[in-house]
């Protein structure tokens, strides 16, 4: 079995020292850089946009895992491909024509991910799961770092695993929000392949060691 991927979320980095924190992730045991793009409409917060992502991509040496928390993501698919996104994840709740959006992401040369808010059941992905490279299960309500993990996430991961089995689908299961040393093991046991962690990594005394401990 493939080892669990760790994707530190730069939302919790020190923006005054962004290059330093990107380089820390480069040197760490992490697999991806998780980039949270928020528009203040889909979620009640604004994070950072393209110029900052461009600066990040100039220093990052690992794949960019871009999580769009924006309405109408179709408008920016080409832009994120040009900025070097490896995985582009859109929210189920933000896409009226999700199948079209997923095809456009793949046509632009990226892996396609779909994120589900805590209230959105995984069963809604039944007719598109075979087209996806990744499903991101939000374990907090999107918009902010540092929130508490929602325990129902375990059941959602298990339901998703079951659906993938029935549909003969093969995609990564990523969990995002409130991930820490207390829940990481159980998330992996439930079937998670990618763990996103923001505060737990960057607010810790030794982020490198924290990433390593999550990886192990
Ligand atoms: C929340 C973002 C997360 C966030 C996670 O909307 O999608 O990626 O950075 O932060 P923590 O790990 O602090 O919950
Ligand atoms: Zn995220």
Report how far ligand 2's centroid is from the alpha carbon of 169 (Å).
23
Domain extents in the chain: 5-215
C-alpha of residue 34 to centroid of ligand 1, in Å:
9
Non-local (6+) Cβ contacts of 17 within 8 A are: none
* Pocket-testing residue among 36, 40, 202, ligand 1, by greatest number of atoms within 8 A of Cβ: 36
Whether the per-residue pLDDT at 22 is higher than 90: the answer is yes
pLDDT at 1 over 80: no
Q: Name all residues whose Cβ lies below 6 A of ligand 1.
A: 9, 11-12, 34, 36, 67, 140, 142-143, 145-147, 176-179, 196-200
Start-end of H helices in 73-206: 77-82, 98-107, 153-167, 184-190, 199-202
pLDDT score at 2: 72
Q: What is the mean pLDDT of the chain?
A: 98
Q: Tell which one of 14, 176, 199, 203 to mutate to probe ligand 1, the residue whose CB is within 8 A of the most ligand atoms.
A: 176
CATH numeric code, 5-215: 3.20.20.70
Distances (CA, A) of 33 to 5, 40, 53, 113, 166: 11, 22, 11, 15, 31
pLDDT of residue 8 exceeding 60: yes
> What gap in Å lies between CA 192 and CA 187, rounded to an integer?
6
- Measure the CA–CA gap between 76 and 68, rounded to whole angstroms: 10
Percent of the chain with pLDDT over 90: 99
Catalytic residues: 36, 176
Tell me: the pLDDT tens digits for 108-137? 999 999 999 999 999 999 999 999 999 999
Distances (CA, A) of 10 to 127, 139, 168, 184, 216: 32, 17, 33, 19, 21
| Structure tokens given for 87 | 């995985």
pLDDT tens-digit series, residues 187-205:
999 999 999 999 999 999 9
Work out the average pLDDT over 60-88: 98
Ligand 2 centroid from CA 15, angstroms: 16
pLDDT at residue 110 in the model: 98
């Amino acid at each position: 079995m493939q080892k669990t991927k760790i994707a530190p979320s730069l939302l919790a980095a020190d923006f005054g020292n962004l290059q330093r924190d990107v380089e820390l992730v480069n040197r760490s045991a992490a697999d991806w850089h998780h980039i949270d793009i928020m528009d203040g409409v889909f979620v009640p917060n604004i994070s950072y946009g393209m110029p900052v992502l461009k600066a990040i991509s100039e220093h990052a040496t690992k794949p960019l895992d871009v999580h769009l928390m924006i309405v109408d993501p179709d408008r920016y698919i080409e832009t994120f491909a040009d900025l070097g996104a490896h995985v582009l994840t859109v929210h189920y709740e933000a896409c009226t024509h999700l199948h079209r959006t997923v095809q456009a992401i793949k046509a632009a040369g990226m892996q396609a991910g779909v994120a589900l808010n805590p209230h959105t059941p995984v069963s809604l992905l039944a007719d598109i799961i075979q087209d996806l490279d990744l499903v991101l299960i939000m374990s907090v309500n999107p918009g902010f770092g540092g929130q508490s993990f929602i325990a129902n996430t375990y059941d959602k991961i298990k339901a998703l695993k079951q659906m993938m089995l029935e549909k003969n689908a093969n995609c990564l299961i990523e969990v995002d929000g409130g991930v820490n040393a207390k829940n990481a093991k159980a998330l992996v046991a439930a079937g998670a392949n990618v763990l996103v962690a923001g505060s737990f990594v960057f607010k810790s005394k030794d982020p490198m060691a924290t990433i390593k401990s999550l990886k192990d």
